[in-house]
Amino acid sequence: MTSQDALAAWLEHLAHERRLSSRTLEAYGHIGRLYLAFLERHRGGAQSAAELGSVTAAEARAHLAERRSGERPLNARSLSQTLAAIRGFHAFLDRRLGVATPQLTLVRGPKVKPSLPRPISEDQAKGLLHEPEADPDMEPWEAARDRAVLTLLYGCGLRISEALSLTRSDAPLPDSLRITGKGGKTRMVPVLPQVREAIDAYLALQPFVIDADQALFRARRGGPLSARHVQATVQRLRGRLGLPASATPHALRHSFATHLLGAGADLRSIQELLGHASLSTTQKYTQVDAARLLAAYSQAHPRG
């Protein structure tokens, strides 16, 4: 088996057994191809899967150094993700082919400062949800569609991929949605009346015949709506509203969690609503909420 065959087998495993998202698979495939190309240049030729077991710590560090200083240098977080992907690839080789790479245990990734979620305020979120309908250049059904997607992200705490995975058979929305998230994990998400109304308004205006198993949200020419369109829409809207660059589609999911926490929701419930595997991931929102309270205190207190 060649190293390229081994990479393809690993990606197949991630897609069908681990059920990772297409975006994650694309990123891992890119990392794997660059890694194997480096080894081929460094070692002077194509490598077999068995030869990957002899990769040294020095070679792995040299590859990371190259990624840090190339034409598109990676930051510390991206380098850490690159090393994690390479380790995952070699762990797969060890489990499935018996090709162990002990030298990789000697490689340490860069120190990454933990980043906190950056939610937007309730007023800013409401502004994003209503702004599509104020655009005179948009067809009414497109404005209703954009509002419906953004309302789903904020009202249900969905990721873009989760919102765009809904099919026509999912609407009209029930009282709760069964969402399949990262790693194939499913969760139940309550649906607010405002979310259901936004979806119904979009369906009443959109001009296409959508089969039950087809994507609920459609692009201008009738194809499935892309995540890139949602990102570009929010980028355009935040410019018109004067919002910071941190106002992204994913920030609406962060805002969903932060605003629930500020309203008194318990952390375990928020973890279930977001579909986090670990409570420690959800605990980051407590730091955001504490920072917000301290900021409000310092602004309002006469001694602040």
DSSP-derived secondary structure for 38-72 = HHHHHHTS--BTGGGGG--HHHHHHHHHHHHHSSS
Q: Which two tokens stand for residue 105?
A: 């245990």
Tell me if residue 35 is catalytic: no
Question: Domain check: are 273 and 161 in the same one?
Answer: yes
**At 2, phi and psi to the nearest 5?**
-80, 165
Q: What is the pLDDT of residue 71?
A: 76
The residue from 42, 250, 284, 292 that is catalytic is 250
Distances (CA, A) of 134 to 86, 101, 128, 150, 228: 47, 58, 11, 15, 21
Tell me, yes or no, whether 23 lies in a domain.
yes
Q: Taking CA 302 as the corner, what is the angle to CA 300 and CA 304, rounded to the nearest 5 degrees? A: 70
C-beta of residue 68 within 8 angstroms of C-beta of residue 76: no
| Total number of domains in the chain | 2
Q: Whole-angstrom Cα distance, residue 18 to residue 6?
A: 16
The residue from 67, 147, 196, 276 that is catalytic is 276
Q: What is the pLDDT of residue 297?
A: 56
Tell me, yes or no, whether 244 lies in a domain.
yes
Question: Domain check: are 135 and 265 in the same one?
Answer: yes
Tell me, yes or no, whether 117 lies in a domain.
no
Amino acid, res. 31: I
Q: Which two tokens stand for residue 97?
A: 């082919």
Tell me, yes or no, whether 239 lies in a domain.
yes
Question: Domain check: are 147 and 295 in the same one?
Answer: yes
Q: What is the pLDDT of residue 215?
A: 96
Question: Domain check: are 180 and 249 in the same one?
Answer: yes
Tell me, yes or no, whether 226 lies in a domain.
yes
Tell me if residue 30 is catalytic: no
The residue from 218, 229, 253, 259 that is catalytic is 253
Question: Domain check: are 148 and 206 in the same one?
Answer: yes
Q: What is the pLDDT of residue 263?
A: 82
Tell me, yes or no, whether 114 lies in a domain.
no
Question: Domain check: are 145 and 170 in the same one?
Answer: yes
The residue from 28, 35, 202, 285 that is catalytic is 285
Domain boundary among 40, 73, 106: 106
Tell me if residue 221 is catalytic: no
Domain boundary among 106, 131, 148: 106
CATH number where 272 lies: 1.10.443.10
Residues in the chain: 304
Question: Domain check: are 41 and 91 in the same one?
Answer: yes
Tell me, yes or no, whether 116 lies in a domain.
no
Q: What is the largest CA-CA distance in the chain?
A: 71
Which SS3 state, helix, strand or coil, does residue 212 take? coil
pTM above 0.75, yes or no: no
Tell me if residue 276 is catalytic: yes
Domain boundary among 106, 140, 157: 106
Tell me if residue 182 is catalytic: yes
Q: Whole-angstrom Cα distance, residue 165 to residue 217?
A: 9
Question: Domain check: are 128 and 102 in the same one?
Answer: no
CATH number where 75 lies: 1.10.150.130
Question: Domain check: are 160 and 273 in the same one?
Answer: yes
* Closest listed residue to residue 220, CA positions, set 301, 146, 123: 146
Question: Domain check: are 264 and 185 in the same one?
Answer: yes
Full domain range(s) for residue 53: 3-106
C-beta of residue 153 within 8 angstroms of C-beta of residue 140: no
Q: Whole-angstrom Cα distance, residue 246 to residue 112?
A: 19
Tell me if residue 285 is catalytic: yes
Number of H helices, E strands in the chain: 13, 2
Tell me, yes or no, whether 139 lies in a domain.
yes
The residue from 159, 218, 238, 259 that is catalytic is 159
Question: Domain check: are 89 and 199 in the same one?
Answer: no
The residue from 42, 118, 182, 236 that is catalytic is 182
- The per-residue pLDDT string of the chain (304 residues; one tens digit each, 9 = 90 and over) reads 999 999 999 999 999 888 887 888 999 999 999 999 999 999 999 999 999 999 999 999 999 999 998 778 888 889 999 999 999 999 999 999 999 999 999 999 888 776 667 788 889 999 999 999 888 888 999 999 999 999 999 999 999 999 999 999 999 999 999 998 877 788 999 999 999 999 999 999 999 999 999 999 999 999 999 999 999 999 999 999 999 888 999 999 888 888 888 888 888 888 888 888 787 777 777 776 666 656 655 666 566 5
- DSSP strand E in 151-237: where? 176-180, 186-190
Amino acid, res. 284: K
Q: What is the pLDDT of residue 26?
A: 93
Question: Domain check: are 141 and 281 in the same one?
Answer: yes
